[in-house]
Amino acid sequence: MENRPPSSSGSSTSGGGPRRMTPNDFYFGKLLGEGSFSCVYLAKEVRTAKKYAIKVCEKRLILREKKQEYVKREREVLNRLSGRPGFLGLYCTFQDRSRLYFVMTYACNGTLLSLLSRPSFTLDCARFYAAEILLALETMHDLGILHRDIKPENILLDQHMHVLMADFGSSKLDYQEEVEQPKNEEQPEASASKANDAPPSPTMSSARKHAEQVLGKSMEKANDEDNDSGTDTDDRHPSSRSAKRRSFVGTAQYVSPEILTGTPSSPASDLWSYACTIYQMVCGVPPFRAASEYLIFQKILRCQVNYGEGFDPTAKDLVTRLLQIEQCKRLGAHDQPRYCTLRAHPFFRGLQFEQLRTTPAPIPPTEDTVLHGETAANVANSYFPEGMKPGLDDRQLTRLLDFKLASVGVSDEDEDDDTDGGGTGSRSGSVGSAAASDTRTDIATPRSGTATAAPMKFTKSFTDGTSIDGSKHDTATLAMWEPFAEGEKILKLGFVHKRKGLFARRRLFLLTTGPRLIYIDPVNMVKKGEIPWTRELSVEAKNFKTFYVHTPNRTYYLEDPEGFALKWCDCINEVHRKAFLNSVETNGRT
C-alpha cells in the first residue's frame, strides 16, 4: 500500500527510506462518522501535532462481505484526486493485522448539510457552493471518475469554508463515455448480454428491492460498460456473469433514474444528484420526498418535482434542465469543453469560476471552529488531553466512548433511560423488576388518520426454533426471553448495541407479533423499553453493522456486533408491512 508520511518532512528509517506508519504514530481523539466497513476518527500525529481524519476499515468485515474492490477503488480515486483543489487529500495509507488506515485531510467545518440549517445560508451561498461543486465535477469527470453519491452530507468544508468532495466508496473509475440513444430507438440486445456487475452497495440492497417493485421487473440485466468489479465473479459458475446484478449505489433521494433502471451510468448521473443538491441548497429539502423509498423511487422515475412559490426562477430553470429522465437531455451532458453551458447559465451570472477557490466564502468560518461549535482549545483539551497514549487498541476505544459520554453530559447510570412505553401496543412492567415510572417526552403516538398495527399471524416464529430470517436458537435461550414477550410469539431476537452518540449499551432486542420491538438489559434481566411502533416507523441500514430505526420524534442508533444489520432491517420492514396491511384490511371489513 502507498505510504507517504503525513508530515511534510517525512519519517524515515536509519537507512534513509520512508518509515512505515502505524496507529501508534497518532493520537485518536474523536469519532467523526461511520460508513460502510469503516469509522472515521479525528487524529493528531504524535511527531508534528498536525490533525488528520483517519478512516479505519475493518478487514474482517471487508473480507466477509467480499468488498475488497470497493476499498481498492476508493483508495485509487483518492490517490488520483489528492492534492487537487476541492478534494480531500490522502496523505498516507497503512495497515495492521485487523484494520486498514487512510490518513486524510481533516475538514474542520463539517458538512454542507450542517451548513444548510443556518439562517445565514442565502441564495448567494447556494450559488457559490453550486459553482464550487461544479468545478469539482469537471475535475472528477475529466479524470475518468464518477462519484455516484453526491449529496450535501458527502460535501465537506475546509478551514476557509470551501468545498472538499468526500466519500468515494460508490465511485466508478475509467468509465467509457458514450452518447446515449433516445429511449424510442431500439437498443442492440447484445449489449445486455455482456454483463458482469459488482454486487449492490450494502446501504442500498433494500432500496434495490423497492426499485424492482416500482419497475415491476427484475433488475438482473447487466452490462460490461457499467461493471464495478470483475473480480467477485465466481469462475466456477460462468452463468453468473450474465445473472449478476447491476451495481446499485447512491442514496435514495439523490439516486438517478438510470441507476434505478439498471442502465449504464455516465457523468450525467452525477449531474442528476448535483441538481438534487442545488434544489436542497435553495429550499432546504431534497426534491424527491415521500414516506418510503418505494414512493421516492416512483417520483424519481416520473421526475415528479414540486417547486414552491418562493423557489428562485433561475435556480428552477437550472434544476429543471438537469433533472431530465434521459441522460443525454441533461444540460451539459455533451459539452466540450466540459460543462461550459452550465457555467454560462444565468444562475451563475457574476461568478468568476477560475477565482472561486481564492474568493472568500459567503459564510465565514466561526472563529476557531473545529467541530460542531467546539473551539480549537476545547478540542485540544477534551480529545487530546495531556498524558494520553497513541494508538487504537481496546483501551483507546474505551477512552473514545468516555469522551463522547462526557461531551453529551450523560452518566453511566442514566444513559439508557429509554423506558419508552413503546407507543402502539405498549405495555408497562418488566421481568425481574418494577416498571420504570418516568415517561419520556419523545414517545411517538399515531398521527390522526393513521391506522394502528393489527396483530399478525406468521407461519415462522421461534416456536420451531427458527426466526423469520432463518436464524436458529436453542430451547433454553428462547425460554429465557419468552416472558418478556408477554404471550406474543418471538419473530426475531438478538444482541444489539443501542447507541447515544458514541456511548452504547448491550441490549437484547425482541421483535414480536404484537408487533413490538422490545429491548432488555440482559445482565439485570430488566425490560428497558420499546421502540414506538406506528405507521411512520422506518428503518435504514447505514452499513453491515449499523442501522437506524426512525420514529416521528426520535431516531434510534443501533449496531449489530455480528454485522447483520441488513437482516434486522429486512425483518422489521416485513413485520411493519404486514402489520399495517392487516390493519387496513381489518378497517375495511368494519
Q: Binding site for ATP: residue ranges? A: 55
Amino acid of residue 204: M
pLDDT at 499: 79
Taking the C-alpha atoms of residue 500 and residue 506, their distance in angstroms, rounded to an integer, is 12
Q: What are phi and psi of 151, to 5 degrees?
A: -165, 160
Tens of pLDDT along 287-301? 998 877 788 899 999
Q: Higher confidence at residue 242 or residue 519?
A: 519
Residues 531, 539 contacting (CB under 8 angstroms): no
- Classify residue 580 by its DSSP letter: H
Q: How many helices (H) and strands (E) does the chain have?
A: 15, 18
Alpha helix (H) residue ranges in 434-564: 475-485
Tens of pLDDT along 79-95? 999 999 999 999 999 99
Question: Whose CA is closest to 382, among 395, 373, 391, 393?
Answer: 373
C-alpha cell at 103: 490518513
Q: How confident is the model at residue 65 (pLDDT cuts 50, 70, 90)?
A: confident
Residues 134, 343 contacting (CB under 8 angstroms): yes
20-106 and 108-172+249-365: identical CATH topology: no
Q: Higher confidence at residue 492 or residue 442?
A: 492
pTM over 0.75: no
Average pLDDT over residues 130-158: 96
Q: Higher confidence at residue 282 or residue 213?
A: 282
* Apex 483 CA angle, 481 and 488, nearest 5: 95
Fold of 475-581: PH-domain like (2.30.29)
Taking the C-alpha atoms of residue 133 and residue 445, their distance in angstroms, rounded to an integer, is 41
Of all residues in the chain, the percent with pLDDT exceeding 70 is 65
Q: How far, in whole angstroms, is CA 44 from its chain's centroid?
A: 26
Left, alpha or beta for 567 (phi > 0: left; psi -120 to 50: alpha)?
alpha
Residues annotated as catalytic are 149
CB atoms within 10 A of CB 103: 24
Q: Count of residues for the chain?
A: 590
CB atoms within 10 A of CB 120: 9
Residue written as cell 452518447? Answer: 179
CB atoms within 10 A of CB 399: 16
pLDDT at 17: 59
* Apex 38 CA angle, 36 and 39, nearest 5: 120
Beta bridge partners of 31: 41
Question: Whose CA is closest to 483, among 427, 420, 424, 430?
Answer: 430
pLDDT at 36: 62
DSSP string, 502-518: TEEEEEEEEEETTTEEE
CATH no. for 20-106: 3.30.200.20
Residues 256, 273 contacting (CB under 8 angstroms): yes
Superfamily of domain 108-172+249-365: Transferase(Phosphotransferase) domain 1 (1.10.510.10)
Residue written as cell 453519491? Answer: 149
Amino acid of residue 3: N
53, containing H or E segment: strand 51-58
Domain boundaries, the chain: 20-106, 108-172+249-365, 475-581
C-alpha cell at 95: 495497515
C-alpha cell at 147: 462519484
- Classify residue 9 by its DSSP letter: S
The pLDDT mean for the chain works out to 75
